[in-house]
C-alpha cells in the first residue's frame, strides 16, 4: 500500500489561515491507525507539514472524545498560530480566498463570529495525505482554477467513463503537461477518497456485501458518486459509496434515485434496493 493515503479534504476558510483545522477520524482509516499509535488521548505532539516542496512545523492535538459521549465525533486537531510560517504560506497559496474573506471580515460588526462562506465557484480546498512517517503530512492545494479546468475536461463525458478513469487512474493522453498536473491533483484526490472508503468497507459492495474476486485472491471494488460527479464536482466521502462492478454498471444503466433517508435506491421500474452496509453515509 502507498504511504501517501487520504487524511482529509478541508474547505479553505478563515481558521485555516490563522489557527489550523479539525479532522474527524472515524472514517479516515489509515489516519486513524496512525493517530492511534502516534499520539495518546489528550497529548499534543509536533508534526511536519509539507506544502509546495517546503516543510513547516505545527502541532497535532489528540482531543478524541470520551466514548461515553456517543453523540460526539472523535477529532484530532492540527494547530499553529496566525504568525507561524505555515499560516503565512497558506495565506500566500490561497491569496484569492484570503483576500476575499479579509474584505468581508472588515465589513462585519466588531466581535462578530459569523462564518464567511466563499461562493461556490470560488471555493478552494486543502487536501491532506499521509507520508511514510507518522509525524509528517503532505498538504496539496486544490485551487478554484484547478476545479474549473477539471470541469472543462469532463464536460460532455459520460459519468461512468469519468468514474472509471478515477478508479483505474487513466490519464487523458491529449492533455498538455500543465493541464495534466492540474487535472491529476483532482483525480488523485478523488481516487484517494475512494481508496479510503474501499479500505473502510474491506472492498465489499455496500449493496450486496460481496467481495468480487475473493476466491482468486483478489478484490475489485469501485467508487461511485451518488450525485453524479460530472455535474456536482462533489468528491466528498458523503457523496461516494463503494460498489462491486456489477452494481456500479446497473446503477449507471438504470439511473435509479438514491433516497438518503431510507438508504436505498429507487429504480424506474419500481424496484427498491437497500444498501446492506453503511459506515459513513448520513
Instruction: Yes or no: say if 48 and 135 are a contact pair by the CB < 8 Å rule.
Output: yes
Average pLDDT over residues 239-263: 97
Instruction: Tell me the pLDDT tens digit for each residue of 24-68.
Output: 988 899 999 998 899 998 899 999 999 999 999 999 999 765 555
Phi-psi region of 178 (alpha: psi -120 to 50; beta: other; left: phi over 0): alpha
Domain topology for 6-142:
At1g16640 B3 domain (2.40.330)
pLDDT digits (tens, 9 = 90+) for 178-190: 457 778 889 899 9
Please tell me the distance from the alpha carbon of residue 58 to that of residue 98, in angstroms, as a whole number: 20
Tens digit of pLDDT for each residue in 102-156? 999 998 888 777 788 899 999 999 999 999 999 999 999 999 999 999 999 898 8
Give me the pLDDT at residue 39, please. Answer: 92
For residue range 95-109, list pLDDT tens digits in order.
999 999 999 999 888
For residue 178, the model assigns a pLDDT of 46
pLDDT confidence of residue 77: 96
Mutual angle of helices 29-38 and 177-200, in 10-degree steps: 70
What pLDDT is stored for residue 1 in this prediction? 56
End-to-end C-alpha distance for the chain, whole angstroms: 28
**What pLDDT score does 46 carry?**
98
SS3 50: strand
% of residues, the chain, pLDDT over 70: 92
Query: What DSSP designation does 110 have?
Result: T
Burial class (CB in 10 A: 0-12, 13-18, 19+), 242: buried
Can you tell me the distance from the alpha carbon of 159 to that of 154, in angstroms, rounded to the nearest whole number? 9
Eight-state DSSP code of residue 70: T
% of the chain exceeding 90 in pLDDT = 74
Residue 180 in 3-state DSSP? Answer: helix
Tell me the C-alpha distance between 155 and 167, whole Å. 18
Instruction: Give residues with Cβ within 8 angstroms of 276, minimum separation 6.
Output: 206, 207, 208, 209
Predicted local confidence at residue 72, as pLDDT: 58
Q: In the chain, which ranges are E strands?
A: 6-11, 20-24, 44-51, 54-62, 75-79, 125-130, 136-142, 222-225, 240-243, 257-259, 264-266, 272-274
Q: CA 191 to CA 5: how far, in whole Å? A: 10
| Cβ(48)–Cβ(138) below 8 Å | no
The C-alpha cell at 224 is 461511485
Mean pLDDT lowest among 171-185, 199-213, 223-237, 242-256: 171-185
Mean pLDDT score of the chain: 91
Query: DSSP state, 133?
Result: S
Task: Band the pLDDT of 176: cuts 50, 70, 90.
Answer: very low
Q: Which of 250, 245, 247 is nearest to 207 (CA)?
A: 247
Helices and strands in the chain: count of H runs, count of E runs: 9, 12
Mean pLDDT of all residues in 61-77 = 69
- Locate CATH 2.40.330 in the chain: 6-142
Amino acid at each position: 500500500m502507498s504511504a501517501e493515503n487520504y487524511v482529509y479534504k478541508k474547505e479553505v476558510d478563515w481558521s485555516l489561515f490563522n489557527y489550523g483545522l479539525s479532522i474527524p477520524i472515524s472514517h479516515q482509516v489509515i489516519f486513524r491507525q496512525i493517530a492511534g499509535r502516534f499520539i495518546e488521548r489528550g497529548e499534543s505532539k509536533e508534526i511536519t507539514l509539507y506544502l509546495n516542496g517546503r516543510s513547516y512545523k505545527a502541532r497535532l492535538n489528540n482531543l478524541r472524545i470520551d466514548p461515553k459521549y456517543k453523540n460526539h465525533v472523535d477529532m484530532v486537531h492540527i494547530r499553529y498560530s496566525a504568525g507561524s510560517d505555515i499560516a503565512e504560506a497558506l495565506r500566500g497559496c490561497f491569496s484569492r480566498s484570503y483576500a476575499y474573506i479579509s474584505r468581508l471580515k472588515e465589513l462585519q460588526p466588531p466581535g462578530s463570529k459569523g462564518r464567511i462562506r466563499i461562493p461556490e465557484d470560488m471555493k478552494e480546498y486543502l487536501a491532506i495525505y499521509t507520508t511514510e512517517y507518522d509525524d509528517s503530512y503532505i498538504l496539496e492545494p486544490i485551487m478554484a482554477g484547478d476545479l474549473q479546468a477539471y470541469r472543462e475536461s469532463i464536460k460532455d463525458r459520460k459519468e461512468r467513463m469519468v468514474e472509471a478513469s478515477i478508479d483505474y487512474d487513466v490519464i487523458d493522453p491529449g492533455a498538455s503537461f500543465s493541464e495534466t498536473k492540474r487535472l491529476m491533483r483532482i483525480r488523485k484526490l478523488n481516487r484517494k477518497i475512494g481508496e479510503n472508503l474501499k479500505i473502510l468497507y474491506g472492498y465489499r459492495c455496500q449493496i450486496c456485501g460481496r467481495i468480487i474476486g475473493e476466491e482468486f485472491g483478489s478484490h475489485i471494488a469501485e467508487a461511485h458518486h451518488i450525485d453524479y460527479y460530472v455535474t456536482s464536482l462533489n468528491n466528498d466521502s458523503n457523496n461516494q459509496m463503494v460498489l462491486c462492478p456489477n452494481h456500479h454498471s446497473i446503477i449507471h444503466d438504470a439511473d435509479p434515485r438514491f433516497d438518503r433517508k431510507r438508504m436505498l435506491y429507487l429504480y424506474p421500474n419500481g424496484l427498491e434496493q437497500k444498501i446492506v452496509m453503511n459506515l459513513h453515509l448520513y
